[in-house]
Structure 1
Amino acid sequence: MIGIIPHLNEFKKRRVKPVIGSVVYCDLISNFASHSGIYIGNNQIVHLNGRGQIEMVSPEKFITGTTAYSINVSCRGKKAVGSRTVANRAKKKLNTSREYNLFFDNCHQFVAGCLTSDFDNNANNFLWILEMTTEEKLGSDNWRLWEV
């Protein structure tokens, strides 16, 4: 039992609270697919849902219907990284809709649009590409679990 305690302490050190404009994501289907959004403060995330609507949700609602039990946050070193500009772009798109398509117009493209202001981008339809865009625009270099 004693051997578990250092492991738990190390696990807790890898947790952060998102900052306004952080990119967040969770697993959709056991690491085969993922879902992303933008943290806008006050425990709210703006995301493109599977019906093509851009909405604001709580972290609990963000992972509802997924296999996720946690949310990952964009970080630089040990601290969450974000941008008010990115959050404002996400908020401006609230209550609008897109022609959602799992492969060609999905949540990752919406989040990339928040990062770049190019909402018609066609290249950011996979998480690994969105991670590179997040690194370029926010300076992130890792992802940590959301501390709730």
Structure 2
Amino acid sequence: MKSLGSLFIKSFIDNVIKDTVVPVKGSVVYCSLALGYAEHSGIYIGKNKIVHLDGSGIIEVVSPQQFVERLGGFNPAMSIYVSCNNSSATGTNTIAKRAKKMVGKRRKYNVILDNCHQFTSGCITGDFENADNFLWMLKDTAKNKINTNKWRVWNRDYNS
């Protein structure tokens, strides 16, 4: 089991030692949940806003702070990771538009079979009934569709 100490060390390295990035519209973003054993994903739509599928099945717009402070404050996430190609954020206006168009809609949320990763992948491809129910699958779709080859920490000190 991962400890809070090991998560803090990873976050410190990711935020202080490694390069950070500012997302572009349509960037895929994710954060850790459950001490790093699960993740939560969404789409950056600009103006410091993320569209995501929450655990109740509602697709909503949230701030980065709300994105990482899910689960009633029991989420230890400290960083949001952004899809990148080398040092530049990846994403498209089309992905952001698909995400915005889904705001206010509901899905039959299931942590394994219909979750945030499937929603996020749907924003990339337009196919919301895809099988990308795990982060590694979503990352593969991001690699193939928007040339993502790295995941860098969002530098939230910048207004984007």
- Report the TM-score when normalising by structure 2: 0.84
- The amino acid that maps onto 1:108 is H
Cα distance, 1:67 vs structure 2:
1.6
Equivalent in 96, 113, 123 of residue 122 of structure 2: 113
> What do the CA deviations read for 1:26-48 (whole angstroms, capped 9, x no partner)?
00111100000000000000000
Is 1:38 the equivalent of 2:43?
yes
Instruction: Give SS of 1:30's match.
Output: helix
Cα distance, 1:13 vs structure 2:
5.0
Which residue of structure 2 lines up, in the alignment, with residue 132 of structure 1? 140
Equivalent in 17, 28, 38 of residue 22 of structure 2: 17
- The amino acid that maps onto 1:137 is K
Which residue of structure 1 lines up, in the alignment, with residue 79 of structure 2? 70
> What do the CA deviations read for 1:88-113 (whole angstroms, capped 9, x no partner)?
00000000000000000000000010
Q: C-alpha separation between the residues in 1 aligned to 2:81 and 2:123?
A: 17
Is 1:91 the equivalent of 2:96?
no
Segments of 5+ residues of structure 2 without an aligned counterpart are 1-11
- The amino acid that maps onto 1:45 is I
Q: C-alpha separation between the residues in 1 aligned to 2:28 and 2:61?
A: 14
Segments of 5+ residues of structure 1 without an aligned counterpart are 1-6
Equivalent in 59, 62, 71 of residue 64 of structure 2: 59
Q: C-alpha separation between the residues in 2 aligned to 1:40 and 1:135?
A: 19
Q: C-alpha separation between the residues in 1 aligned to 2:16 and 2:63?
A: 24
- The amino acid that maps onto 1:96 is K
The alignment's C-alpha RMSD in Å is: 1.5
| Bigger helix fraction | 2
Q: C-alpha separation between the residues in 1 aligned to 2:62 and 2:76?
A: 17
- The amino acid that maps onto 2:99 is A
- Report the TM-score when normalising by structure 1: 0.91
Closer/same/farther in 2, CA of residues 143 and 25 from structure 1, 3 Å limit: same
Q: C-alpha separation between the residues in 2 aligned to 1:126 and 1:29?
A: 14
Instruction: Give SS of 2:35's match.
Output: coil
| Runs of 4 or more above 2 Å deviation | 10-13
Which residue of structure 2 lines up, in the alignment, with residue 102 of structure 1? 111
Instruction: Give SS of 2:109's match.
Output: coil
Instruction: Give SS of 1:69's match.
Output: coil
- The amino acid that maps onto 1:144 is R
Q: C-alpha separation between the residues in 2 aligned to 1:92 and 1:38?
A: 12
- The amino acid that maps onto 1:101 is N
